[in-house]
Chains A and B, each alone.
Chain A
Amino acid sequence: MNYLIIPLVFFVLFIFYLISRSKRLSFTNPLFWVVAWWIAFYVILKNAILPPLPSSIIQMFMAIITIALFFYITADTQRLKEAIHPVIQFLVNRKFKLPLGLVIIIIPVLVAGKVYFGSQVKIVAPVFGRSIHPAPPTKINYQGKQLILNELENPYRHLETESPLDFQKHVEAGRKVYYNNCVFCHGDTLEGKGIFAHGLNPIPANFADVGTIAQLQESYVFWRVAKGAPDLPDESGPWSSAMPAWEKFLTEEEIWDVILFIYDFTGHNPRARVEHH
């Protein structure tokens, strides 16, 4: 239903446009239209998109839109004059004395209201610009042997083309590993909505999202699964991740199998290695 707000907002703007054309209303100058567009964009960003956009992103988009609308007014001297004229009239023409007085009172009242309501927000954990893909180390120690992440590859990935039946067996094995161990946090459909997810902050990764495993090489995913939260690097912390170090519970083969499964289930391909010049 919320998406209907978009055509509704544009319909209202269009009606205004038609009225202003037919009646030649004096208030429909460039400044009016800029304000109308600004409000229209705000209403759309705030209400039309589901799930709701975080307030940080609305602020950023509105800042860009504000600058663009400001440029629209000021990129043409004639338009700038038309936009400023009513403001000047409002400030200097004596017939606007009463509304001007009201505006002078309303502005500090609005500021005071903003401060008051701003201080009434409920206490929540601070917003944190988290790095989703921490930088991995060059090498890791895995159960006594050293693995170089730049060279590490899934030993069963080649079966996908060479022996699809064997590949499928590993995927099935990975499926079992997943539903025995990972499902509680990452969920039935791998979207990070497991039964424990509501108690975690940060919430578990959503593998179906194009921004997670689709961006990563399998060696990276192996490092994350094997080492979990305890091996997250110092930079960009605190991570506060609840991910266990699965090397303590799963074999190397099981980890590679579950990696095959999560890519297979979501339909994503792991990031390939890049050859430089």
Chain B
Amino acid sequence: MILSGHHKSSIIKFVISFGVFLAGTTVIFAQSQSGGADVDYREFPFFGSRIAIWAVGELHLMYAAFVLAVPMFALLIEFIGYKTGDKRYDKLAHELTSLLSVSFSFTATLGAILTFMLMILYPRFTSYLISIFDKTFWPYGLLFFAEAGFLYSYYYGWGKFSPRVHLLLGLGLNIVGTAIMFIANAWLAFMTSPSGIDEAGNLVSTWDAVNNYIWMPINIHRVIANICFGGAIAAAYAGFKFLGAKTKEEKAHYDWMGYVGNFIAISALLPLPFAGYWLGSEIYAFRAQMGMVLMGGAFSWLFIIQAVLIGMLFLGANYYLWLGMERIEGAEKYKKFVKYLLATITVCFVVWATPHSLVATVEEARKMGGAHHPVLGILGVMSAKNTAVNIMILTTYISFLLYRRGNKVATVSWAPLGHSAQFLIFAITIIFVIAIGVIGYFVEATVRIGLSVPQVISVLFAMTSVTIIDIFLFRNARIVGQIKWGEIPARAQYMLFFLAVTFTWLMGLMGYVRSGLRLHWHVYEVMKDTSVDAYTPTLGFASTVVSCIVIIFFVFIMFNFWLTGLLHKKDWEPNT
């Protein structure tokens, strides 16, 4: 069999990555066998061990999120292409998959470096974790191998197999990738909410250690967040290519790709707060102290930053949709609604970001009668915030709905009834969500937490039922104008960059919170951190570290994209 240079280099990349991974795990096993725990900690030069492991761990996680997410929506897009026969989808899915090849090698290499660092810098802790999870490392390694097989056969086998076989390869890739993530999640979830061990910390049941309190919430939260993140990065890639596009066709293609990437990111963003809420409540249920640290104590101010960033994501996502209406002939009639949508999101954003305890001078605090403002305090609690985020989600959905019907006029006989039904569903849902929010002020805290469930269900119901009505409503609709892909202001592309950076930054910040809430424990209440870094850094310092990691990630990913782009460059020829 003759392999092209590109194929060869990819296989070499994989062999090196897998070799590094295998070497890492082998040394760790050897370490655990020889009980190499004479030294508790070793120091990393210049930065110290904590920052070094923090940076490498976070970079590995960001790459892993991208590598796991892209196959999910690539498969979905390929499937849509297969069902509709539209070749554009197939091309898009292929292009998205092309981003994976180099990223996969980076993910594996960073994972191997992380493993080495854990082993070298934190030998006692690593030995302990191995003693708990040694049985999970073997399937992890084997699944990693299987993922490489699926990934490369999926990518290089594009157009080489029957569509069904190819889709099955994609499905295999996704199943294996998700399983890998679930195993790795068990290790870190155990550090926060250990189970399956006796009082001395010795293993009793591997399955119980895996299936610890926050394992499944983390799994679900990460799957959704990965899709969000992957979609945003793919959209930013498209935005980058759009700005550099030379031809109309190229611009049209990358405009469409950016739209699809952003659509995926925002679709996943809508349920993400609910998954995060579940994770938070499970942390609280495991140890109320941790809940306090998370939401009311040391990290509460990071949640304000998180709220601001999430508000910006919603604003930015809507802004992109509103700008996108400019490429749709006939969408002008909906522009008059934009200011109302914007006003609603802004009000919700303000409520969503209002802190529970305000930063105030002593003089200001005295005037308020405490750290809580008597008027603003009403907005600082979960009842107000849940209401705000649910309405923000509904508003974003309405923006999308208007965008979707921009160039269409419903022709079915029951169109007026359909529009009225949709309006009624929205109105009832909004009234219901607000009413539940108000009731939340008059009930006990645990009942209030429970009230978030009907709020979420009503919003999900509204979005599902309105979508179903919309599909039938606009079946055989009259098309009053074309979608002119590529005719969108450049500032929309910068918004795609902004969204990608914000998603990444948010991921880094909240990842820090999730890890940092253990405070001075490696494994909560089981193994204390006795290193020189056993203190919680200031939020400013943590934010700076996360920001630096985000910058490094984007430098790396740009390099990856550049490498991917080399495939389409002309061969080098000597000047004659």
Contact = CB atoms under 8 A, between A and B. Distances in A.
Interface of A: 49-57, 60-61, 64-65, 67-68, 71-72, 74-77, 124-125, 127-138, 149-150, 191-193, 198, 201-203, 205-206, 209-212, 214-215, 217, 220, 234-236, 269-277
Contacts of B288: 136, 149-150, 217, 220, 274
8 contacts: A65-B350, A68-B349, A75-B338, A135-B289, A136-B288, A138-B289, A192-B370, A269-B444
A132 B444 contact: no
Contacts of B286: 276
B489 A77 contact: yes
Given A77-B489, A271-B444, A56 B358 contact: yes
A119 B356 CA distance: 30
Dominant secondary structure at the B interface: helix
Given A57-B376, A132-B296, A52 B364 contact: yes
Contacts of B359: 54, 56-57, 127-129
Contact of B371 (A130, A136, A215, A276): A130
Nearest to B355: A57
Interface string B293-336: 10011101100000010011001000100110010000000010
Given A51-B369, A68-B346, A135-B293, 8 more contacts: A54-B358, A72-B338, A130-B357, A131-B357, A132-B356, A206-B369, A210-B381, A274-B449
A137 B289 CA distance: 7
A44 B527 CA distance: 52
Nearest to B366: A203
A26 to B, nearest CB: 22
Given A64-B346, A68-B342, A135-B298, A192 B369 contact: yes
B365 A277 contact: no
A134 B444 CA distance: 21
Given A65-B346, A71-B319, A134 B292 contact: yes
Q: What 6 pairs between A and B have smallest CB-CB spacing?
A: A276-B285, A133-B296, A54-B360, A271-B445, A68-B346, A135-B293
Contacts of A149: 288-289
Contacts of A57: 354-355, 358-359, 373, 376
B290 A135 contact: yes
B315 A53 contact: no
B367 A51 contact: yes
B188 interface: no
Contacts of A52: 364, 367
Contacts of A235: 293, 297-298, 519, 536
A64 B297 CA distance: 25
B377 interface: yes
Contacts of B326: 76-77
A61 B375 CA distance: 15
Contacts of A276: 213, 282, 285-286
Contacts, number: 189
Contacts of A137: 289
A150 B287 contact: yes
Given A76-B322, A235-B297, A269-B444, A209 B364 contact: no
Given A54-B364, A125-B361, A215 B315 contact: no
A131 B297 contact: yes
Dominant secondary structure at the A interface: loop
Interface string B230-250: 000000000000000000000
B376 A53 contact: yes
A215 B365 contact: no
Nearest to A79: B335
A136 B292 contact: yes
A236 B300 CA distance: 10
Contacts of B319: 71, 74-75
B363 interface: yes
Contacts of B289: 135-138, 149
A274 B284 contact: yes
B362 A201 contact: yes
Contacts of B519: 135, 235
B361 A71 contact: no
Nearest to A198: B366
Nearest to A200: B362
A64 B342 contact: no
Contacts of B287: 138, 150
A57 B376 CA distance: 10
Nearest to A206: B370
A64 B363 CA distance: 25
A217 B285 CA distance: 12
Nearest to A67: B315
Nearest to A214: B445
Contacts of B164: none
Given A54-B359, A54-B364, A210-B441, A215 B374 contact: no
Contacts of A202: 365, 371
A125 B362 contact: yes
B354 A133 contact: no
B15 interface: no
Contacts of B24: none
Most buried by A among B297, B338, B519, B525: B297
A138 B370 contact: no
Given A132-B356, A210-B381, A217-B288, A49 B375 contact: yes
A192 B290 CA distance: 27
Given A76-B338, A235-B536, A272-B446, A124 B282 contact: no
A237 B358 CA distance: 16
Interface in B478-504: 489, 491
Nearest to B382: A215
Given A130-B357, A135-B289, A276-B286, A236 B297 contact: yes
Contact of A60 (B353, B371, B375, B444): B353
Given A75-B323, A131-B297, A51 B374 contact: yes
Contacts of B282: 276-277
Nearest to B367: A51
Contacts of B370: 192, 203, 205-206, 209, 212
Most buried by B among A55, A131, A202: A131
